[in-house]
């Protein structure tokens, strides 16, 4: 039997989720990608760094409760560049100022209960994005798995679902999983999503109920 964990993620200062294909200007995704949220869950559970053994045992998505204001900061970083004697350069980094997200995790009932317990009492301090982007987690709840048809979705929506929102949205190409090679991890899988605080659809879609919220994994 499956259960769904819901938790509110409040960023008291700022956070950033760097797009890996940006260099001197580090653009941020509008929401934490599923692989970032898996890292958050792993941290709560006390798993070793780079342990992805449990990734296949859960589905992860996220909702936007408060869009953070996008701002830019300057950072001076070390960079291997023979043209720069001190090997330092300026990088522009986008940040999201005080956003609020809602984490949703679909897993077996027992495992979901374990995740919920550790989100309330994590093994390691929790952060979201960079290691100094502190995070406050509350409103952790566990719901029994239940599907419903809905025209309003409270999470990001995979574009492959084939239903375009009629409300305001942005799009994001998010990393969702890691590809396994013969001996090690060989790459990253991506998926396109529609992103918005609440997505109104042109036709009903099957979603999972999490209290009053309806989410799609």
* pTM of the predicted model as reported, rounded to 2 decimal places: 0.90
91 closest CA partner among 68, 72, 109, 105: 72
- Please tell me the number of Cα atoms within 13 Å of 38 on its side-chain side: 21
CA distance readout (Å), 10 to 128, 133, 170, 212 = 9, 11, 21, 19
One digit per residue, the tens of pLDDT, for the chain of length 217 reads 999 999 999 999 999 999 988 777 889 999 999 999 999 999 999 998 878 889 889 999 999 999 999 998 877 666 666 666 666 677 888 999 999 999 999 999 999 999 999 999 999 999 998 888 899 999 999 999 999 999 999 999 999 999 999 999 999 999 998 877 666 666 889 999 999 999 999 999 999 999 999 999 9
């Amino acid at each position: 039997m499956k259960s769904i964990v819901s938790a509110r993620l409040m960023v008291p200062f700022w956070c950033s989720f760097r797009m890996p294909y940006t260099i001197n200007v580090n653009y941020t995704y509008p929401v934490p990608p599923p692989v970032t949220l898996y890292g958050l869950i792993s941290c709560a559970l006390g798993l070793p760094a780079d342990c992805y053994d449990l990734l296949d045992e859960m589905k992860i998505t996220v909702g936007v409760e408060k869009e953070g204001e996008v701002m830019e900061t300057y950072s001076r970083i070390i960079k291997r560049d023979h043209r720069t004697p001190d090997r330092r350069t300026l990088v522009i980094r986008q940040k999201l100022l005080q956003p609020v997200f809602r984490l949703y995790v679909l897993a077996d009932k027992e495992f979901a209960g374990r995740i919920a317990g550790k989100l309330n009492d994590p093994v390691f301090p929790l952060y979201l994005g960079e290691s100094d982007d502190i995070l406050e987690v509350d409103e952790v709840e566990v719901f029994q798995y239940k599907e419903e048809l809905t025209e309003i979705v409270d999470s990001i929506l995979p574009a492959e679902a084939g239903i375009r929102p009629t409300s305001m949205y942005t799009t994001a190409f998010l990393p969702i999983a890691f590809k396994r090679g013969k001996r090690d991890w060989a790459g990253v899988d991506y998926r396109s999503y529609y992103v918005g605080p609440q997505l109104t659809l042109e036709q009903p879609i099957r979603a999972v109920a999490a209290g009053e919220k309806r989410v799609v994994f």
